[in-house]
């Protein structure tokens, strides 16, 4: 990933004119991952035509990529698609030119773009706004500075906390919020058939010190741990110590410790300066990064029956390497407790696990996975336990990667078509929503 020094960013900030700004730490779920493409895809992105101009930053993922590309290419002859942020930005500009007012343009986007999109943007007229897709899949909150002079939108509350800002509210699905001289103006533009907030935010993606619906993420993760104990009492009786896979396993490990009374041995330590998220890396880099990132203290695990607490198993690389290390160090038994239930299908909404082939859970049962990674057992949390701990209603959560039930129609059709082909032996050539053939078959 391109590296920019903090001092260079601060120096650049100081030179910027104006009183509004948007930005994004992009997590790539569309387009290419080489350095040139990552730099090109840096947000905010802009679109302009006939004197109209808009800039946006967004979190999420577009599903109907090809349909939008065709529409945009007809209107912008020099349009070059790099990633889905370009699609949202150009689509919004098309609708702004058509409708003239922001609310109508955003409403058309909400109705015609399928996927997850939490967007912050600025128009050439000086509108500062944010909106969420009709299912509210990704988080986005609004807040203000203590003196009321500055208004902000942010994916997570943690960025408000560290700037001493106050959180005002989480945007509703299908809501547009604009900043006016009198503060926030809220408009619900589209009523979706259901809310579908990403359940994976709770298990892995969000920072533990962020809040959703007034609950800190780390509190939910602790409850995941307590629940894993309630669901696996037999195994708990056969364990001497708990280990966590740092750091997303730390909070649930606390819960496992509290509910079982078993010592949480802090014998897995994360290297402070190896900061890559192994989950995001290309497979060739992943194994060596995990090896460098997590140090296990051999004398503390030798001869022990161990519960390893992990947030999720996607490909299984991290868990497999950790179990392997524990075995080499003389662990007597290794049980793996996983807070996120078994992932059986791809995510089409902004988490980069967008094929069946990469998911160990799409092909194997928990027992088979335990055998593959050489664990004595792999215990996934139940769907009911997950839902209960979040405090959300079941139907307000997206759990498509766990259940195969996608909240939007094209995603459901793509997932169904490609699942059948995958089971017949087809090898996926990229993220499902970026395979033209898959989109055509699902259309």
Instruction: Check: CB of residue 259 under 8 Å from CB of residue 230.
Output: yes
Q: Is 137 in the site for ligand SF4 (CB under 6 A)?
A: yes
Q: Is 142 in the site for ligand SF4 (CB under 6 A)?
A: no
Task: Tell me how far, at minimum, the Cβ of 228 lies from ligand SF4, in Å.
Answer: 19
Q: Which residue has the tokens 């259940």?
A: 403
Task: Tell me how far, at minimum, the Cβ of 138 lies from ligand SF4, in Å.
Answer: 8
Name the residue among 112, 358, 26, 386 with its Cα closest to residue 227: 386
Instruction: Check: CB of residue 117 under 8 Å from CB of residue 76.
Output: no
Pairing mode of beta strands 294-296, 52-62: unpaired
Task: Tell me how far, at minimum, the Cβ of 383 lies from ligand SF4, in Å.
Answer: 11
Rounded distance between C-alpha atoms, residue 339 and residue 220, angstroms: 10
Instruction: Check: CB of residue 72 under 8 Å from CB of residue 84.
Output: no
Q: Is 264 in the site for ligand SF4 (CB under 6 A)?
A: no
Q: Is 45 in the site for ligand SF4 (CB under 6 A)?
A: no
Instruction: Check: CB of residue 280 under 8 Å from CB of residue 204.
Output: no
What is the SS3 string spanning 273-285? Answer: CCCCCHHHCCHHH
Cβ distance to ligand SF4 smaller for residue 242 or 351: 351
Beta carbons within 10 angstroms of residue 69's beta carbon: 18
Q: Which residue has the tokens 């807070």?
A: 339
Instruction: Check: CB of residue 118 under 8 Å from CB of residue 85.
Output: no
- Within 349-378, the residues that bind ligand SF4 by CB under 6 A are 349, 351
Q: How many residues bind ligand SF4 (CB under 6 A)?
A: 11
3-state secondary structure of 252: helix
Q: Is 130 in the site for ligand SF4 (CB under 6 A)?
A: no
Q: Is 200 in the site for ligand SF4 (CB under 6 A)?
A: yes
Task: Tell me how far, at minimum, the Cβ of 189 lies from ligand SF4, in Å.
Answer: 22
* Candidate segments 104-112, 264-272, 345-353, 363-371, binder of ligand SF4 by CB under 6 A: 345-353
Q: Which residue has the tokens 């809501």?
A: 175
Cβ distance to ligand SF4 smaller for residue 243 or 278: 278
Cβ distance to ligand SF4 smaller for residue 58 or 349: 349
> Binding string, 291-310, against ligand SF4, x = CB under 6 A?
--------------------
Which are the contacts of 42, defined by CB distance < 8 A and separation ≥ 6? Answer: 2, 26
Q: Is 347 in the site for ligand SF4 (CB under 6 A)?
A: yes
Cβ distance to ligand SF4 smaller for residue 279 or 335: 279
Task: Tell me how far, at minimum, the Cβ of 114 lies from ligand SF4, in Å.
Answer: 13
Cβ distance to ligand SF4 smaller for residue 102 or 347: 347
* Candidate segments 162-170, 257-265, 313-321, 398-406, binder of ligand SF4 by CB under 6 A: 398-406
Classify the C-alpha dihedral 272-278-281-285 as positive or negative: positive
> Binding string, 54-93, against ligand SF4, x = CB under 6 A?
----------------------------------------
Rounded distance between C-alpha atoms, residue 273 and residue 411, angstroms: 38
In the complex, which residues of this chain contact ligand SF4 (CB under 6 A)? 137, 198-200, 347, 349, 351, 398-401
């Amino acid at each position: 990933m391109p590296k920019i020094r903090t001092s260079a960013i601060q120096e650049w900030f100081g030179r910027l004119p104006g009183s509004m700004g948007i930005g994004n730490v992009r997590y790539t779920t569309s387009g290419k991952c080489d350095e040139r493409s990552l730099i090109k895809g840096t947000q905010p992105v802009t679109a302009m035509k006939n004197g109209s101009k808009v800039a946006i930053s967004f979190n999420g993922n577009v599903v109907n990529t090809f349909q939008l590309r065709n529409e945009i290419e007809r209107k912008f002859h020099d349009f070059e698609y790099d990633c889905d942020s370009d699609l949202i930005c150009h689509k919004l500009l098309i609708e702004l030119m058509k409708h003239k007012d922001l609310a109508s343009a955003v409403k058309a986007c909400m109705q015609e773009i399928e996927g997850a999109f939490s967007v912050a943007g600025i128009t050439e007229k000086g509108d500062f706004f944010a909106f969420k897709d009709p299912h509210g899949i990704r988080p986005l909150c609004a807040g203000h500075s203590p003196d009321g002079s500055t208004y902000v939108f942010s994916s997570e509350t943690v960025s408000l906390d560290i700037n001493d800002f106050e959180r005002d509210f989480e945007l509703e699905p299908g809501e547009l919020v604009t900043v006016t001289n009198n503060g926030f103006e809220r408009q619900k533009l589209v009523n979706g058939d259901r809310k579908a907030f990403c359940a994976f935010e709770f298990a892995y993606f969000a920072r533990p010190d962020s809040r959703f619906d007034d609950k800190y993420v780390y509190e939910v993760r602790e409850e995941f741990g307590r629940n894993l104990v309630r669901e696996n009492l037999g195994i708990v009786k056969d364990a001497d110590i708990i280990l966590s896979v740092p750091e997303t396993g730390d909070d649930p490990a606390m819960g496992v410790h509290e509910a079982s009374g078993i010592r949480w041995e802090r014998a897995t330590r994360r290297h402070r300066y190896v900061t890559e998220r192994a989950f995001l890396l290309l497979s060739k880099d992943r194994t060596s990064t995990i090896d460098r990132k997590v140090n296990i203290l051999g004398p503390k695990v030798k001869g022990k029956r161990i519960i390893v607490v992990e947030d999720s198993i996607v490909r299984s690389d991290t868990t497999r390497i950790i179990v392997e290390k524990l075995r080499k160090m003389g662990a007597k038994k290794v049980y793996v407790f996983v807070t996120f239930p078994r992932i059986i299908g791809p995510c089409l909404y902004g988490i980069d696990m967008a094929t069946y082939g990469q998911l160990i859970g799409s092909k194997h049962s928990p027992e088979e996975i335990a055998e593959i990674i050489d664990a004595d057992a792999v215990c996934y949390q139940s769907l009911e336990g997950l839902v209960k701990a979040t405090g959300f209603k079941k139907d307000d959560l997206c759990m498509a990667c766990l259940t195969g039930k996608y909240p939007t129609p094209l995603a459901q059709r793509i997932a169904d078509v490609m699942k059948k082909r995958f089971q017949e032996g087809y090898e996926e050539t990229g993220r499902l929503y970026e395979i033209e053939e898959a989109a055509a078959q699902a259309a």
